[in-house]
Amino acid sequence: MPKHGKKYRKATEGTEQIGLTVEQAVASAVEKAYAKFDETVDVAINLGVDPKYSDQMIRGAVTLPNGLGKEIRVACFVSGEKEAEAKEAGADFVGGDDLVAKVKDGWLDFDKAIATPDMMAKVGQIGRVLGPRGLMPNAKTGTVTFDVAGAVKEVKAGRVEFKVDKAGVLHAPIGKVSFGAEKLLENLKTLLETVNKLKPSSAKGTYMKAVAVATTMGPGFKIDPLAARKYSES
């Protein structure tokens, strides 16, 4: 049996998939997308870090200039006057103890969670539910803050949170195929710039070892690491 389906194999025919420039990789990913839905374009970056050391755990967030092309449902764990601030900023779900209780009962109908620092003791009670799903608010990604309005607006605008995995690979979406190559390139450049700025001083050797771009269903296109670095610095 073939490893990939007929459409996937057809998409790779006569197409260079390694050693590409950033522009070539993104253009190829868009051109070769074949699904009937508007596929997400993802980037995978293999970093020269060892995540078992806390100072080499690359984690952060970035607001992409062209957003992600999807509606983000935001839940805000806040109390008092911050509830009105969150609602005015566009949060979809706002509450304190009641929202925590709702999650305890199994409700998880949201994509991102934001909390004020004073609410984190209560949000910690549902950490085992939120954590594995990547929904736990975190100060390092700007989702634990008293600036609730600012956080909600950034998340709604297309802020992407990222974290390197145990293998040293960072995965992040950069938009939809329908964006076209130009907008995707702008988003990718912003992401690469942010990741470069997070390079730890303790990391030795090549920092950005490999970069690949792919759509949800389509083949991956590998960017030359040097080209990726130069692109992020241009």
Q: Encode the chain (234 residues) as per-residue pLDDT tens digits.
A: 456 677 766 666 656 678 999 999 999 999 999 999 999 999 999 999 999 999 999 999 899 999 999 889 999 999 999 999 999 999 999 999 999 999 999 999 999 999 999 999 999 999 999 999 989 999 988 999 999 999 999 999 888 989 999 999 999 999 999 999 999 999 999 999 999 999 998 888 899 999 999 999 999 999 999 999 899 887
With vertex at residue 46, the alpha carbon angle to CA 227 and CA 162, rounded to the nearest 5 degrees, is 105
Residue of 10, 7, 17, 33 lying closest to 180 (CA atoms): 33
Q: Name 48's Cβ contacts closer than 8 Å, sequence gap at least 6.
A: 168, 203, 204, 205, 206, 207, 208, 209
Q: Considering the entire predicted model, what is its pTM? A: 0.81
- What is the C-alpha to C-alpha distance for residues 27 and 21, in angstroms, rounded to an integer? 10
Query: From residue 196, how far is each of 202, 215, 229 by CA, in Å?
Result: 14, 23, 8
**Side-chain-facing half-sphere of 80: CA atoms under 13 Å:** 7
